Structure formats: structure tokens, C-alpha cells
């Protein structure tokens, strides 16, 4: 999980990119652009940066409508996504689903999916069978 310090450092990077560094909505726009740049290399940092930028914009008096316009929302309310309780619940649920999935194929757990849990991750029954086939094939070839 990303610390508040890292998110605030990213927010400062966004502030330096903003066309008006004193306008919280311009900083939010710059943070959104920065998140697009970081999307491949930083997963949790992107969410933490957006949450912090939205919180700062709200603290400065920006309306949910103005915030939503920065994200390109037309009908969906940004309040639902960025209300702290909803955002926290959403992130926790997403992390739990990701952490419970097979570390190899990302297959989610279910009533008919059996998982072997280890210290560094988990593996589903299909991946175990595939790994067994690979090892058996290597043994037949004499490796």
C-alpha cells in the first residue's frame, strides 16, 4: 500500500505540471494526466494520488460536478467514487480479489476452484495440473 508521503509527493509533481498551480481543479487535471503517464508502472500510487487530489479539491470548495467534469463524467456521480468510505471499500475489495486470485493465471477463487495457498501467493488447480504436465514432459525427455 502506498504511504501518504508518496501520494503527496506525486501531488506536488502534478502541481508543478498544472497550468495554474494555485487552482485545485487545475491540479486535479494535472494529476489525472500524471496518472495516465504512471498507469503502467504504479498501481496503488495512481489511486492514492487521485484520492488525494480529489480530497484537496473538495477541501478548497470545488463541487462534485466540477470534479466530475475533470474526469469526463457525464451522468455518473463522482461523489460515489470519491467519498472516502466508498473509495476505501472499493480499493479494499479490489485488493482482496486480486490477492485471492491465482498468482499465475489470475483466476478468481470460487466454489469449484481449488487453491493451494503458499507464502508468496496461491495457485489454482488448473495451473497445478499444467505444471504437473510440464514436469512430466520434461522427465520423459530426460532432462
Q: Residue positions in the annotated binding site for Zn(2+)?
A: 102, 105, 124, 127
Cβ-Cβ contacts under 8 Å for 83 (sequence gap 6 or more) = none
User: Is residue 6 within 8 Å of residue 46, measured between CB atoms?
Assistant: no
The beta strand positions in the chain, using DSSP E, are 115-117, 122-124
Count CB-CB contacts under 10 A for residue 133: 10
Annotated binding residues: 102, 105, 124, 127
- How many whole angstroms separate alpha carbon 12 and alpha carbon 7? 9
CA 78 to chain centre: 17
Amino acid at each position: 500500500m502506498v504511504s501518504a508521503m508518496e501520494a503527496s509527493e506525486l501531488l506536488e509533481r502534478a502541481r508543478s505540471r498544472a497550468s495554474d498551480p494555485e487552482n485545485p481543479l487545475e491540479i486535479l487535471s494535472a494529476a489525472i494526466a500524471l496518472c495516465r503517464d504512471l498507469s503502467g508502472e504504479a498501481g496503488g500510487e495512481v489511486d492514492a494520488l487521485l484520492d488525494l487530489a480529489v480530497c484537496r479539491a473538495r477541501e478548497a470548495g470545488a463541487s462534485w460536478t466540477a470534479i466530475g467534469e475533470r474526469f469526463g463524467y457525464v451522468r455518473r456521480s463522482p461523489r460515489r467514487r470519491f467519498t472516502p468510505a466508498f473509495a476505501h471499500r472499493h480499493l479494499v475489495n479490489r485488493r482482496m480479489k486480486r490477492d485471492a486470485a491465482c498468482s499465475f493465471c489470475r483466476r478468481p477463487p470460487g466454489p469449484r476452484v481449488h487453491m493451494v495457498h503458499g507464502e508468496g501467493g496461491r495457485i489454482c488447480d488448473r495451473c497445478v495440473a499444467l505444471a504437473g504436465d510440464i514436469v512430466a514432459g520434461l522427465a520423459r525427455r530426460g532432462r
